Amino acid sequence: MALDGNLGTEDSDGDGIVENQTCAAPGLCPREINPPRIGGLPLPRPVVPPRVAPKSPAPRTSERAPSNEQPKADDRRDRGDGRDSLGRYAKGNDGRSGKDEEKRILDELEKDQKVPIIRDQRQATIPGGKHGRFYDGLMPNGDGTYTGIEVKSGGASKTRQQKEFDARVSPETPASVRLPDGTTVKITGVWDEP
């Protein structure tokens, strides 16, 4: 439909748009233009790719990007808390200060709970889990199961993997650990200290 200077207030062409404006200068009013044709067929409309924001370079950081590779047994670099990526003491950290505090806390817990705590750090696993986990101690629950104890001192905090592992441990999905005598037991809970 060609538009003239005097538009109505109804949808006169059935396109769902009400033409309810008046054009101030009839010679400058917008007009509907028929698309050009070749051989009686309209020209194809050009394909316009969607606009995509330009990629900005990744911010520079001194931290290494997380890797999907398994850590090497001889890689003892400090992950920031005095331990390496496997939870062992990092190169240059003999562990005396952290171990002394851990022993003190486990001694207090053992006295308060009136149960012996197994202090050998053994790897606990959950079926279907990607990573194992080493607890600082294991406390018997009295029903043949154990609670894994994690001691953090000096401002240290759990790693993401430790948090994810601990969140899965429950009586319904227990972790398993082999004790020094070869017995395999279930861990059904986690106790964080302090």
Beta strands in 46-168 (DSSP E): 123-125, 133-134, 137-140, 146-151
* Domain assignment of residue 8, yes or no: no
The answer to whether residue 99 sits within a structural domain is no
User: Which range of residues forms the domain containing residue 167?
Assistant: 115-193
Q: How confident is the model at residue 179 (pLDDT cuts 50, 70, 90)?
A: confident
Number of domain units in the chain:
1
pLDDT-based confidence at 75, cuts 50/70/90? confident
* Structural domain contains residue 68: no
Indicate the pairing of strand 146-151 with strand 184-193. Answer: parallel
Q: Is 21 among the domain residues?
A: no
3-state secondary structure of 104: helix
Helix, strand or coil, per DSSP, at residue 107: helix
CA distances from 96 to 82, 86, 103, 160, 168 (A): 11, 18, 10, 25, 31
Q: Half-sphere exposure of 119 toward its Cβ, with a 13 Å CA cutoff?
A: 13
Count the alpha carbons within 13 Å of 190 in the hemisphere toward its beta carbon: 22
Is residue 75 a part of any domain in this protein? no
Cβ 135 vs Cβ 148: under 8 Å: yes
Residue 130: inside a domain: yes
**What average pLDDT does the structure give for the chain?**
74
Residue 147: inside a domain? yes
pLDDT of residue 114: 93
Average pLDDT value for residue range 37-51: 60
Q: Please indicate, yes or no, if residue 20 is contained in any of the structural domains.
A: no
Q: If we measure between CA atoms, which residue out of 70, 67, 98, 66 comes closest to residue 82?
A: 98
Of all residues in the chain, what percent carry a pLDDT higher than 70?
Answer: 52
pLDDT in tens, 124-165: 999 888 888 999 999 999 999 999 999 887 777 888 889 999
Whether residue 22 has pLDDT greater than 80: no
